[in-house]
Amino acid sequence: PAIEFGLEAPYEIEYHNSVGSTNQRARELATEGAENVVVVADEQTGGRGRLEREWASPSGGIWLSLLLRPTLPTTHAPLVTMAAAVATAEAVGSAGVEPTIKWPNDVLVDGKKVSGILTEMEGEADSISWLVVGIGINANVDADALPEDRATSLQALCGEVERRAVVQTLLESMADLLDDRDKILPEWRARSGTLGRRVSVDTPDGPVVGEAVDIESPGALLVDTENGRRRVTVGDCEHLRP
Ligand code: BT5
């Protein structure tokens, strides 16, 4: 089948040519008690973004979900998402483009979104029971198959890529970062296209506009606004012109 990548990864791999959503499939595996499994699909028929949004997932992409059981308090789950953004940026970069991370976890090339991440989890306050981090990379897909002009694909940027190598880099980098969590935020900062920029973040408490100055564990964005410094934990971030 098209998606038999033949990966040698530090995780067990489950391949699908077509699946509703790899996150949904990974959640099913979680309820069966599995861990350290990666669900990979060539195509998703019901790919999901954050906040019930749709994620276009045509054949030729990299649509995958990692099921983990990290020993972390639930409040620290964003750290895993930040690690996924770093690993994704590294993987996308290995294909020969220059990605940057837009807070919290979009990977952009030339200002356009090439990858998005959706993390879901279950647990009590003091510990995560399971965590599913879903990563979508527009790999060998036609940019016309993507929903808006702010999206792009590796194929459009640099021609067809070898998906096996991209996923391999991603999973190895992810395993490294989770082994040595002190590296996650420094690596994120080094790849960020958000820090030092003027941003407008659409948060549940309204818009926060100002200069993005830093991130703080486990993944909050610090924004210097006209009314002082704000610490933003959730929201959609837009980069503004300087
Ligand atoms: C995300 O949501 O960026 C998270 C996307 C996670 C997708 C992966 S694929 C594997 C796993 N299984 C799933 O079912 N999901 C995960 P968000 O920030 O809400 O962005 C969604 C918005 O991006 C949509 O409302 C569209 O405007 C746009 N969009 C949809 N599909 C896109 C694509 N393929 N590339 C770029 N932008 C897209």
Tokens linked to 139: 């790999």
Within the chain, all domains assigned CATH 3.30.930.10 are found at: 12-191
- The 10 Å Cβ neighbour count of residue 32 is 7
Q: What is the pLDDT of residue 10?
A: 81
Eight-state DSSP code of residue 160: -
How many Å apart are CA 57 and CA 59, to the nearest integer?
7
Torsion angle of the four alpha carbons 206, 208, 214, 219, in this order, in degrees rounded to the nearest 10: 10
The pTM for the full model equals 0.96
Tokens linked to 40: 């990979």
Q: What is the pLDDT of residue 1?
A: 35
Within the chain, all domains assigned CATH 2.30.30.100 are found at: 198-239
Q: What is the pLDDT of residue 2?
A: 44
At residue 194, φ and ψ (nearest 5 deg) are -95, -40
Mean pLDDT of 88-117: 97
CATH code: domain 198-239 is: 2.30.30.100
> Tens digits of per-residue pLDDT, 160-191?
999 999 999 999 999 999 999 999 999 999 99
Please tell me which residue, 233 or 9, carries the higher pLDDT value: 233
Helical H segments across the chain, by residue range: 22-31, 77-94, 154-158, 163-179, 184-191
User: Quick one: pLDDT band at residue 6, thresholds 50, 70, 90?
Assistant: low
User: 12-191: CATH homologous superfamily?
Assistant: Bira Bifunctional Protein; Domain 2 (3.30.930.10)
What's the 139 CA to ligand 1 centre distance in angstroms? 13
What's the 101 CA to ligand 1 centre distance in angstroms? 15
Q: Mean pLDDT over all residues of the chain?
A: 94
Best residue among 21, 23, 55 to mutate for probing ligand 1, ranked by most atoms within 8 Å of CB? 55
206 has pLDDT over 60:
yes
The burial of 164, by beta-carbon neighbours within 10 Å (0-12 exposed, 13-18 middle, 19 or more buried), is given as middle
What's the 138 CA to ligand 1 centre distance in angstroms? 10
The protein residue with its alpha carbon nearest to ligand 1, atom 36, reads 151
Q: Which residue has the tokens 């983990």?
A: 68
Tokens linked to 86: 């770093």
How many Å apart are CA 105 and CA 61, to the nearest integer?
18
Helical H segments across 102-226, by residue range: 154-158, 163-179, 184-191
For ligand 1, residues with CB inside 6 Å are 21-23, 44, 47-51, 53, 55-57, 63-65, 113, 116-118, 134-136, 138, 146-148, 151
